[in-house]
Amino acid sequence: MFSIVNYNLLLDSLNWKYTNRYHKKLSPELLCANNVFMIRHILLINPWIYDFAAYDLWYKPLGLLYLASLLRQNGASISWVDCLDPDHPGMRHEPDIRAPRRHPSGKGSYAEERIPKPPPLQSIPRHYHRFGITPRIFPDMMTSIPRPDVIMVTSMMTYWYPGLFETISHLKTVFPGVPVILGGNYVTLCPEHAALSGADFCLPGPGEIFLPPLLKDLLEMDMPELPDVGDLDSYPYPAFDLIRRRDSVPILTSRGCPYRCSYCASHLLAGRYRRRSPIRVADEIEHWHSRLGIKNFSFYDDALLANAKEMAVPLLQEIIRRQLSVQFHCPNGLHLREITPELGALMYKAGFRTIRFGFESSDPVRQKQTGGKVSNEEFSEAVRHLRLAGYQSQDIGVYILCGLPGQPADEIRESIRYVRSVGARPFLAEYSPIPGSDLWNEAVAASPYPIETEPLFHNNTLLPCKSPSLTEQVYHDLKLMTKRPSETPQSEES
C-alpha cells in the first residue's frame, strides 16, 4: 500500500500544535501502558548518488542524523547505512574501484563506478556514474543488520532519484514486507514523481512533525520526547557517532531564509526563518571538538551572515574567546552585504578557511530580478574588507549564476571580469531549475527539456535553461576565464 502524506493538509490539521501536545513528560505508568518501552528497530539509509559528476563538499545527511537522535531519544534502536561512505571496509575488496581521494579538511571524492545512462539522458555526451559503495556489497551489509520494523530513506537532489530508486529496490528484496518511508528534498519538491520510487510512504516536509503520527499508526510507537519546532535549540545534537568518517561535521545555526531569491526553494524546504542562540551553537562546536576531536566544521545555512550582529558576530567572538582550534568551511554561498571590517576580521581570526559568497551577476537588473541581496558597490566594499582582514584573492570565492532563463553569455562573461577586477575568485554556479521556486514557470518555458515531468532534466550539468548564446564552446571559454588569476585592485597597488 502506497501513501503520500499531504504536507499542507497535515500541517493545517496539526496547526503546529503537535509538538506542544507531545512534548510533555509522561508518567512511567502511562509510558508502560502505551508500550513506549517496546524497543523498535529503525533502519536509516543515505542512498546512492547517480549523476555525471559528484564531489563531497563536507556533505552529511544532516536531516536524517537529526531524526536518528530524536528516534533514539524516544527509545528506538537505530541501524545506519550510508551508501556514500568513502571508508566502507567492503570497498577494499572491489579491485576495479579506485579509492576516493580525501582531503584532511573533510572534503573529497566518492568511490565511483560507470553505469549506463538512464534512457532520457542517452543523447548527453558524458559518462554517467554511481557514486558510493557498490551494490555487490550491499546484501552483505544488510545481513549484519537485524530485521528492522521500518526503514527510512532520505533524498537530496531531485535528479539523483535513480540512485534512490535502486536503493529502495534492494531494500525491498532484502527486507520484504518492511515498510519503507521516503523523505527529504526530492519528496518535498516532486511528490508525484516520488510516488514512483517504490517506497510505501512518501513524507514531504519536516520529519520531526510528520513522522511521529505515521510511526504511531505503523508500529504503535509513541514519541513523547519531541522538540519545539519554533525553538531550534530544543533539538538534540545530530547522531554524528553513526558516521564512520568523522573528519568534519556540519553545524546548523538556522532554518529557512529571510530572503526570497527567485531561483531558490528554501521557503518550501525549510519553512519560516528560525535561528538558534549563538552561544548554543558555540556549545555544540565545542562539544564535537572535545568529544570526537573534530577540527573542521561546515555551515550549510541559507543565511549564516544575515543580521550578523545577532548571530555571526557573537558566535565568532565566542569561538575566539574559547580558543577553539578549529576551521570552518562555507560552500553554500554567504551574504556579502553583511561583511564589515569587524566581521571580516572575526571570520579570519575564528578560522573561516573556505568562504564562498553568492553574487549571482554584476548586472544590476539581474540582481534585482534574482532577489537584490547585494549590489556591485556593496560587493566591492565587502571584498575590500575581507582582503584587509587577511584573505587573499584566491580565498574569496564568488558564485556567478550561469544558464538562467534568458541570460545572455555576455552577462556571465562581464560578471566574471568584474569579480576578478575587484580581487576575488569567480566560480560558475550552473543553474538548476527547482520546482516551486519563483523562477520555475520561466524555467519551464525556456527549457527544451520536459522539466515538469522528468526531474533528470533538472541537472545543472545539462544547463537545461540556457540561452542560445551560451553554446558549448562559449561555456568552455567561460570556465577557462574563471581559472585565470584575479586582478589586484588599483587601490591596493598604490
Residue 55 C-alpha cell reads as: 564531489
DSSP assignment, residue 108? B
Whether pLDDT at 256 is above 70: yes
Q: Where are the alpha helices (DSSP H) in 423-468?
A: 440-446
Q: For a pLDDT cut of 90, what percent of the chain falls above it?
A: 80
Whether pLDDT at 32 is above 60: no
Residue 367 C-alpha cell reads as: 540582481
Lowest mean pLDDT among 33-47, 166-180, 374-388, 420-434: 33-47
Residue 447 C-alpha cell reads as: 527549457
CA–CA dist 462, 52 (Å, integer): 10
Whether pLDDT at 394 is above 60: yes
Whether pLDDT at 23 is above 50: no
The domains of the chain, with CATH numbers, are 3-219 (3.40.50.280), 247-493 (3.20.20.70)
Per this entry, what is the length of the chain? Answer: 494
Residue 90 C-alpha cell reads as: 567492503
Whether pLDDT at 159 is above 70: yes
Whether pLDDT at 46 is above 80: yes
Residue 306 near residue 266 (C-beta atoms within 8 A): no
Q: Give the residue from 43, 57, 58 showing the smallest Cα distance to 246.
A: 58
Q: What are phi and psi of 80, to 5 degrees?
A: -130, 130
Angle 376-389/409-422 helices, nearest 10 degrees? Answer: 40
pLDDT digit string, tens, across residues 322-347:
999 999 999 988 999 999 999 999 99
Whether pLDDT at 33 is above 90: no
Indicate the pTM of the whole model: 0.90
Q: What are phi and psi of 394, to 5 degrees?
A: -70, -15
pLDDT digit string, tens, across residues 432-477:
999 999 999 999 999 999 999 999 999 999 999 999 999 999 999 9
The model's confidence at residue 37, banded by pLDDT at 50, 70 and 90, is low
- Helix then strand then coil, % of the chain, to nearest 5: 40, 15, 45
pLDDT at 342: 97
Determine which helix (DSSP H) or strand (DSSP E) holds 4, and give its type and residue range.
strand 3-4
Give the list of residues 6+ apart from residue 28 with CB closer than 8 angstroms, or none. none
Q: How far is CA 242 from CA 45, 64, 99, 108, in A?
A: 11, 11, 22, 19
- Which amino acid appears at position 115 of this protein? I
The model's confidence at residue 301, banded by pLDDT at 50, 70 and 90, is confident
Residue 276 near residue 237 (C-beta atoms within 8 A): no
pLDDT digit string, tens, across residues 193-246:
999 999 999 999 888 998 999 999 999 999 999 999 999 999 999 999 999 989
DSSP 3-state assignment of 106?
A: coil
DSSP bridge partners of 248: 296
The model's confidence at residue 92, banded by pLDDT at 50, 70 and 90, is confident
Lowest mean pLDDT among 24-33, 382-391, 475-484: 24-33
Q: How far is CA 291 from CA 82, 240, 244, 286, 400, in A?
A: 22, 11, 15, 8, 38
Residue 122 C-alpha cell reads as: 542517452
The model's confidence at residue 1, banded by pLDDT at 50, 70 and 90, is very low
CA–CA dist 410, 427 (Å, integer): 16
The model's confidence at residue 489, banded by pLDDT at 50, 70 and 90, is low
Q: Per-residue pLDDT averaged across 477-481, rounded? A: 96
Q: Give the residue from 439, 402, 440, 407 showing the smallest Cα distance to 419.
A: 402
Residue 338 near residue 350 (C-beta atoms within 8 A): no
Whether pLDDT at 387 is above 80: yes
CA–CA dist 307, 300 (Å, integer): 17
- Which amino acid appears at position 321 of this protein? R
